[in-house]
Amino acid sequence: MPDDHAVASDLKRSDLARLTGCNLETIRYYESVGLMPDPPRTSSGHRRYGSAHVERLNFVKWARDLGFTMEEIRGLLSLVDRGSHTCAEVERMGCHHLGVVRAKIRDLQAIESVLARTIARCTGSDTPDCPLLDVLNEGQAKSEGAKSASD
Protein backbone atom coordinates (compact mmCIF):
# COMPACT_ATOMS: atom_id res chain seq x y z
CA MET A 1 0.00 0.00 0.00
CA PRO A 2 1.42 3.44 -0.87
CA ASP A 3 2.35 5.84 1.87
CA ASP A 4 1.12 9.44 1.87
CA HIS A 5 4.30 10.68 0.19
CA ALA A 6 4.38 8.15 -2.61
CA VAL A 7 3.16 8.98 -6.08
CA ALA A 8 -0.43 7.84 -6.17
CA SER A 9 -0.99 5.04 -8.63
CA ASP A 10 -2.92 1.81 -8.53
CA LEU A 11 -4.89 3.03 -5.52
CA LYS A 12 -8.03 1.45 -4.13
CA ARG A 13 -10.95 3.71 -3.28
CA SER A 14 -10.04 3.44 0.40
CA ASP A 15 -6.51 4.67 -0.43
CA LEU A 16 -7.98 7.58 -2.38
CA ALA A 17 -10.19 8.44 0.59
CA ARG A 18 -7.25 8.29 2.99
CA LEU A 19 -4.99 10.42 0.78
CA THR A 20 -7.61 13.12 0.22
CA GLY A 21 -9.50 13.00 3.51
CA CYS A 22 -12.70 12.44 1.56
CA ASN A 23 -15.41 10.03 2.68
CA LEU A 24 -15.86 6.83 0.64
CA GLU A 25 -19.54 7.56 0.07
CA THR A 26 -18.68 11.07 -1.11
CA ILE A 27 -16.25 9.63 -3.66
CA ARG A 28 -18.97 7.25 -4.88
CA TYR A 29 -21.38 10.16 -5.14
CA TYR A 30 -18.90 12.32 -7.10
CA GLU A 31 -18.41 9.41 -9.49
CA SER A 32 -22.16 8.91 -9.90
CA VAL A 33 -22.75 12.58 -10.76
CA GLY A 34 -19.79 12.76 -13.12
CA LEU A 35 -17.45 15.01 -11.14
CA MET A 36 -14.96 12.17 -10.89
CA PRO A 37 -14.14 10.09 -13.97
CA ASP A 38 -14.76 6.38 -13.86
CA PRO A 39 -11.51 4.77 -12.83
CA PRO A 40 -10.01 1.92 -14.81
CA ARG A 41 -10.65 -1.55 -13.47
CA THR A 42 -8.43 -4.51 -12.94
CA SER A 43 -9.15 -7.77 -14.72
CA SER A 44 -11.03 -8.84 -11.60
CA GLY A 45 -13.19 -5.69 -11.76
CA HIS A 46 -11.62 -3.71 -8.90
CA ARG A 47 -11.40 0.05 -9.37
CA ARG A 48 -7.92 1.52 -9.45
CA TYR A 49 -7.21 5.20 -9.04
CA GLY A 50 -4.15 7.20 -9.98
CA SER A 51 -2.60 10.56 -9.19
CA ALA A 52 -4.98 12.32 -11.60
CA HIS A 53 -7.91 11.07 -9.48
CA VAL A 54 -6.22 12.36 -6.32
CA GLU A 55 -5.68 15.79 -7.91
CA ARG A 56 -9.24 15.99 -9.23
CA LEU A 57 -10.79 14.89 -5.95
CA ASN A 58 -8.69 17.45 -4.07
CA PHE A 59 -9.87 20.10 -6.56
CA VAL A 60 -13.53 19.15 -6.03
CA LYS A 61 -13.13 18.92 -2.27
CA TRP A 62 -11.46 22.34 -2.01
CA ALA A 63 -14.05 23.90 -4.32
CA ARG A 64 -16.82 22.50 -2.10
CA ASP A 65 -15.01 23.86 0.98
CA LEU A 66 -15.05 27.29 -0.70
CA GLY A 67 -18.81 26.97 -1.16
CA PHE A 68 -19.00 26.34 -4.89
CA THR A 69 -22.12 24.47 -5.91
CA MET A 70 -21.91 21.17 -7.73
CA GLU A 71 -22.92 22.90 -10.97
CA GLU A 72 -20.28 25.59 -10.50
CA ILE A 73 -17.67 22.89 -9.91
CA ARG A 74 -18.89 21.05 -12.99
CA GLY A 75 -18.41 24.27 -14.96
CA LEU A 76 -14.91 24.81 -13.60
CA LEU A 77 -13.96 21.22 -14.32
CA SER A 78 -15.30 21.48 -17.86
CA LEU A 79 -13.00 24.45 -18.41
CA VAL A 80 -10.06 22.49 -17.01
CA ASP A 81 -10.95 19.36 -18.99
CA ARG A 82 -11.32 21.36 -22.18
CA GLY A 83 -7.74 22.52 -21.69
CA SER A 84 -8.27 25.79 -23.50
CA HIS A 85 -9.70 27.85 -20.67
CA THR A 86 -8.69 31.42 -20.09
CA CYS A 87 -8.15 33.15 -16.81
CA ALA A 88 -10.94 35.56 -17.80
CA GLU A 89 -13.45 32.70 -17.99
CA VAL A 90 -12.43 31.38 -14.60
CA GLU A 91 -12.38 34.89 -13.15
CA ARG A 92 -15.98 35.50 -14.28
CA MET A 93 -17.08 32.33 -12.50
CA GLY A 94 -15.08 33.25 -9.41
CA CYS A 95 -16.48 36.78 -9.32
CA HIS A 96 -20.02 35.47 -9.59
CA HIS A 97 -19.39 33.05 -6.72
CA LEU A 98 -17.78 35.79 -4.64
CA GLY A 99 -20.93 37.87 -5.09
CA VAL A 100 -23.03 34.95 -3.87
CA VAL A 101 -20.77 34.49 -0.84
CA ARG A 102 -20.92 38.21 -0.01
CA ALA A 103 -24.73 38.15 -0.24
CA LYS A 104 -24.82 35.19 2.15
CA ILE A 105 -22.54 37.06 4.55
CA ARG A 106 -24.88 40.09 4.46
CA ASP A 107 -27.85 37.79 5.14
CA LEU A 108 -26.05 36.14 8.05
CA GLN A 109 -25.08 39.54 9.48
CA ALA A 110 -28.72 40.64 9.34
CA ILE A 111 -29.76 37.41 11.08
CA GLU A 112 -27.09 37.95 13.72
CA SER A 113 -28.32 41.49 14.33
CA VAL A 114 -31.95 40.44 14.79
CA LEU A 115 -30.98 37.56 17.07
CA ALA A 116 -28.62 39.69 19.17
CA ARG A 117 -31.21 42.47 19.62
CA THR A 118 -33.96 40.00 20.45
CA ILE A 119 -31.92 37.90 22.86
CA ALA A 120 -30.76 41.08 24.62
CA ARG A 121 -34.45 41.74 25.41
CA CYS A 122 -34.81 38.32 27.06
CA THR A 123 -35.00 38.49 30.84
CA GLY A 124 -33.93 34.94 31.50
CA SER A 125 -36.69 34.71 34.09
CA ASP A 126 -38.92 31.75 34.77
CA THR A 127 -41.93 33.39 33.08
CA PRO A 128 -43.42 32.10 29.84
CA ASP A 129 -43.02 35.53 28.16
CA CYS A 130 -40.06 35.41 25.80
CA PRO A 131 -39.09 38.04 23.22
CA LEU A 132 -37.37 35.45 21.03
CA LEU A 133 -40.52 33.31 20.83
CA ASP A 134 -42.56 36.46 20.13
CA VAL A 135 -40.31 37.38 17.20
CA LEU A 136 -40.45 33.81 15.85
CA ASN A 137 -44.25 33.79 16.13
CA GLU A 138 -44.41 37.18 14.35
CA GLY A 139 -42.24 35.77 11.57
CA GLN A 140 -44.48 32.75 11.24
CA ALA A 141 -47.56 34.99 11.05
CA LYS A 142 -45.89 37.19 8.39
CA SER A 143 -44.91 34.08 6.42
CA GLU A 144 -48.44 32.67 6.57
CA GLY A 145 -49.91 36.05 5.59
CA ALA A 146 -47.63 36.27 2.58
CA LYS A 147 -48.53 32.71 1.58
CA SER A 148 -52.28 33.46 1.88
CA ALA A 149 -51.91 36.59 -0.23
CA SER A 150 -50.18 34.63 -3.00
CA ASP A 151 -52.83 31.84 -3.05
Give the count of beta carbons closer than 10 Å to the beta carbon of residue 128.
6
Architecture of domain 1-85: Orthogonal Bundle (1.10)
pLDDT digits (tens, 9 = 90+) for 31-59: 999 999 989 988 898 899 999 999 999 99
Domain limits, the chain: 1-85, 94-151
Q: Is the pLDDT of residue 129 over 90?
A: no
In this prediction, residues 74-87 reach a mean pLDDT of 91
Mean pLDDT of 8-30: 92
What confidence score (pLDDT) does residue 74 get? 95
Residue 138, pLDDT score? 86
Measured CA distances, 53 to 14, 19, 22 (Å): 13, 11, 12
